[in-house]
């Protein structure tokens, strides 16, 4: 009995039966018989949780259906997007803004370069000013050193001089003070002093000329106080009259004798007083000043006309002086028949200090 015709059957590889099967050739004709051995028992498939059909379920399942894939979703509005702005395109920026930004950046760059250049120029100018200041200070220090050395040399020579020819080169106004020095040395011979060192070198405000106050220590003697005038870069002269406090006659002798009829210039200190007596008893007519001299306890009462130039000048000088004590050169005259024991008339304020800045006129006493 012939074999029944072969039929195609889909083989489930996971099936448990082991019937014979045929393997097809390239032309679709069964080529050989293959015996299929029984395979392993397949594992039990996990059960799925049955749920209600989509028709009976109002919400969505975990897996979208076909209609969800076919339907195109509507775009969801973004509350952070401004109204009227499309999110699928970018609004174009006008080229003018790019030009403006470029100009702003270029201007800022030029301004920065200019500021840097100006800063460099300013810094260079400042450095130049500092260098000039340092150079001036260095030159001033050198000049001051030369001046101090010269002052020490002049002071040493001045103090060591014991003859008129030796001292005249170092004093102020030598022609005028020479007879004064000669007369003073006749009554009191000159004692030479050996200069040791300067303990004070200080500028003094005397008019518009440069003066210096110098204190010089000497061997075996008292400290000498000198007033020095600077006449050049490194040239100085010493004021002999203020050094010795020169007077036309001894102050104690003048107080005792009060020679009448002659006006003399004295270096004194003046302070207000209230002694009114005899011919000077009218305090509405006269201003009274107590007058004293250096190294003396004797005093005189000097009277100037109230409201006059002399009284007003003395008041001004006293107000501006340290301790309200005026240190002045006054021209005094004793009245020939005065009944006041210590009264003299103040005729003129010769100098607002003990220093005679300029030489007095030839006709002056």
pLDDT tier at 27 (50, 70, 90 boundaries)?
Answer: low
Please report where in the chains the tokens 């003048």 appear, as a residue. 254
Residue 10 has pLDDT above 50, yes or no: yes
> Residue 262 has what pLDDT?
85
Residue 175 has pLDDT above 80, yes or no: yes
Q: Mean pLDDT lowest for which of 89-93, 140-144, 248-252, 341-345? A: 89-93
> Residue 270 has what pLDDT?
95
Distances in whole angstroms, Cα of residue 37 to Cα of each of 12, 33, 188, 208, 302:
13, 13, 163, 140, 161
> Residue 67 has what pLDDT?
54
Q: Mean pLDDT lowest for which of 37-41, 194-198, 264-268, 332-336? A: 37-41
324-339 pLDDT, tens digit each: 899 999 999 998 887 8
pLDDT tier at 90 (50, 70, 90 boundaries)?
Answer: very low
- Dist. CA 274–CA 283, nearest whole Å: 8
- Dist. CA 251–CA 295, nearest whole Å: 9
The residues, any chain, with a CB within 8 Å of residue 350's CB and separated by 6 or more, are 265, 328, 329, 330, 331, 356, 360
Q: Is 281 within 8 Å of 344 (Cβ atoms)?
A: no
> How many residues appear in the chain?
365
> Residue 159 has what pLDDT?
96
Mean pLDDT of the 207-222 span: 91
Query: Above pLDDT 90, what percent of the chain?
Result: 45
Query: Residue ranges per domain, the chain?
Result: 155-244, 251-351
Q: Mean pLDDT lowest for which of 27-31, 171-175, 260-264, 358-362? A: 27-31
117-169 pLDDT, tens digit each: 777 777 666 666 667 676 777 776 788 888 999 999 999 999 999 999 999 99
Residue 291 has pLDDT above 70, yes or no: yes
Residue 70 has pLDDT above 90, yes or no: no
Q: Is 251 within 8 Å of 266 (Cβ atoms)?
A: yes
Mean pLDDT of the 91-100 span: 65
Selected residue with higher pLDDT from 355 and 122: 355
What is 251-351's CATH topology? OB fold (Dihydrolipoamide Acetyltransferase, E2P) (2.40.50)
Selected residue with higher pLDDT from 96 and 243: 243
pTM surpassing 0.85? no
Across the chain, what does the average pLDDT equal?
Answer: 79
> Residue 57 has what pLDDT?
47
> Residue 278 has what pLDDT?
87
């Amino acid at each position: 009995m012939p074999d029944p015709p072969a039929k195609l059957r889909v083989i489930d590889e996971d099936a448990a039966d082991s019937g014979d099967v045929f393997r097809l050739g390239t032309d679709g004709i069964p080529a050989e018989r293959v015996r299929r051995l029984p395979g392993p028992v397949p594992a039990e498939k996990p059960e799925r949780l049955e749920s209600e059909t989509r028709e009976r379920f109002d919400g969505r399942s975990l897996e979208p259906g076909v209609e969800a894939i076919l339907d195109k979703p509507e775009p969801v509005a973004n509350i952070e997007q401004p109204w009227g702005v499309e999110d699928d395109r970018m609004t174009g920026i006008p080229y003018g803004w790019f030009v403006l930004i470029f100009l702003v950046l270029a201007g800022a760059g030029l301004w920065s370069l200019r500021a840097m250049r100006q800063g460099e120029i300013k810094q260079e100018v400042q450095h130049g000013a500092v260098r000039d200041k340092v150079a001036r200070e260095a030159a001033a220090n050198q000049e001051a050193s030369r001046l101090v050395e010269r002052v020490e040399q002049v002071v040493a020579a001045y103090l060591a001089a014991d003859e008129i020819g030796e001292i005249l080169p170092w004093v102020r106004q030598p022609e005028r003070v020479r007879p004064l020095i000669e007369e003073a040395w006749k009554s009191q011979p000159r004692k030479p002093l050996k200069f040791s060192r300067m303990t004070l070198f200080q500028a003094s405000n005397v008019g518009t000329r440069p003066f210096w106050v110098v204190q010089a220590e000497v061997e075996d003697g008292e400290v000498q106080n000198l007033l020095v005038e600077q006449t050049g870069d490194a040239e100085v002269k010493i004021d002999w009259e203020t050094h010795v406090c020169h007077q036309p006659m001894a102050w104690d002798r003048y107080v005792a004798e009060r020679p009448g009829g002659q006006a003399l210039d004295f270096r004194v200190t003046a302070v207000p007083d209230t002694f009114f007596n005899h011919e000077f008893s009218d305090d509405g007519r006269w201003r009274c000043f107590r007058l004293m001299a250096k190294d003396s306890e004797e005093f005189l009462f000097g009277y100037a006309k109230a409201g006059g130039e002399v009284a007003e000048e003395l008041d001004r000088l006293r107000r501006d002086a340290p301790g309200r004590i005026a240190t002045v050169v006054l021209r005094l005259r004793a009245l020939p028949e005065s009944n006041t024991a210590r009264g003299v008339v103040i005729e003129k304020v010769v100098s607002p200090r003990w220093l005679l800045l300029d030489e007095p006129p030839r006709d002056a006493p």
